[in-house]
């Protein structure tokens, strides 16, 4: 239960947790009063406050606020100067820390890029390179064949298909790490951010690196962490798994050891194969400002996230996980 002061300030109203969350989502005035977190991550990424002196009409210096969009600057540099060592975004604004409900835990990130080899652009492995060659049309072969008629100008062919020329990696810095509750979300969110930035600037996501400072496990998360780590499954548990996931009957339990020996999980919470993230950019904003008209424009994409019209360009399927599978959730109390 949450105690909320009424408008006249004379008494209080008790809200359930669910009621409070719903009002935060649906009532802007309520959210502004009771849900404001201060100038945290997004505010610093897209609107870092910078006081700047400007001459007014009387030729006097006046102090005016200027907002710096770090994401826009990052995308501009990635497009125009991808080898820069200054491709950074920072959320640790010392001058505004006292206005934040909680100072940033993950306080900044840096991206860096490298050129892809010709083989990497074609798929990397020998199998994928062979598959790529099979996709070459007769028209492309005639267009990009070299004079000796045995080789092709593969670079020009790849460029004509707008296949990325660079790979991009992201490293985030985190001062404080809640290992059980927070870190899994940090990994997933920065992984998604890397994928989106890579799509926006037509690069291939490469490495995701976490530079973690104070990494801790809270005392009231110990049992949950043990459950997450898991344990070896007993023979009875393996049999139950086979009976639940196959058509084996009780009287044929010998089949479990003979047929399902390799496929039966031997450990609780055994990791599943990683899912695949699919990002469809067909209808993302372009430089023209229209949905899907012309080549995708990195600046238009990220500027669009703050534009209500941007939603008209998005489909629900634009960001989608396929083959995602997880174990049952484990609850733990939130600490700070």
Catalytic residues: 105
232 Cβ partners below 8 Å, 6+ apart? 266, 267, 268
What φ, ψ does residue 206 adopt, rounded to 5°? -115, -90
Instruction: Determine contact, residues 206/169, Cβ cutoff 8 Å.
Output: yes
Measured CA to CA, the distance from residue 174 to residue 193 in angstroms comes to 16
C-alpha distance from residue 213 to each of 176, 185, 210, 328 (Å): 6, 16, 10, 29
* 177: three-class secondary structure by DSSP: strand
What φ, ψ does residue 150 adopt, rounded to 5°? -110, -20
Tokens of 257: 């050891």
State which H helix or E strand residue 204 sits in.
strand 204-216
SS3 content of the chain, % helix, strand, coil (to 5): 40, 25, 35
């Amino acid at each position: 239960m949450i105690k909320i002061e009424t408008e006249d300030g004379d008494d209080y109203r008790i809200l359930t947790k669910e009621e409070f969350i719903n009002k935060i989502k649906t009532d802007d005035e309520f959210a502004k009063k009771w849900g404001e977190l201060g100038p945290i991550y997004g505010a610093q990424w897209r609107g870092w406050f910078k006081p700047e002196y400007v001459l007014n009409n009387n030729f006097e210096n006046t102090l005016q606020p200027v907002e710096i969009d770090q994401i826009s600057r990052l995308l501009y540099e990635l497009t125009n100067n991808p080898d820069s060592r200054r491709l950074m975004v920072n959320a640790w604004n010392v001058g505004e820390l006292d206005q934040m409900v909680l100072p940033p835990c993950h306080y900044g990130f840096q991206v860096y890029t490298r050129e892809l080899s010709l083989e990497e652009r074609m798929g990397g492995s020998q199998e994928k390179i062979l598959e790529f060659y099979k996709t070459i049309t007769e028209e492309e072969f005639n267009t990009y064949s070299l004079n000796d008629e045995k080789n092709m100008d593969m670079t020009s062919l790849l460029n004509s298909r707008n296949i990325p020329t660079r790979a991009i990696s992201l490293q985030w810095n985190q001062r404080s790490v809640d290992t059980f509750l927070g870190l899994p979300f940090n990994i997933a969110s920065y992984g998604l951010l890397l994928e989106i930035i890579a799509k926006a600037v037509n690069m291939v996501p490469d490495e995701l690196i976490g530079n973690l400072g104070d990494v801790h496990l809270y005392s009231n998360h110990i049992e949950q962490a043990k459950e997450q780590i898991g344990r070896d499954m007993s023979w009875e548990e393996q049999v139950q798994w086979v009976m639940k996931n196959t058509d084996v009957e009780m009287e044929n339990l010998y089949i479990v050891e003979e047929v399902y020996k390799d496929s039966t999980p031997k450990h609780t919470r055994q990791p599943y194969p990683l899912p695949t993230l699919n990002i469809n950019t067909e209808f993302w904003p372009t430089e023209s400002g229209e949905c899907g008209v012309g080549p995708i424009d990195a600046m238009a994409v990220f500027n669009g996230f703050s534009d209500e019209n941007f939603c008209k360009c998005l489909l629900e399927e634009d960001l989608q996980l396929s083959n995602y599978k997880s174990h049952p959730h484990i609850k733990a109390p939130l600490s700070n």
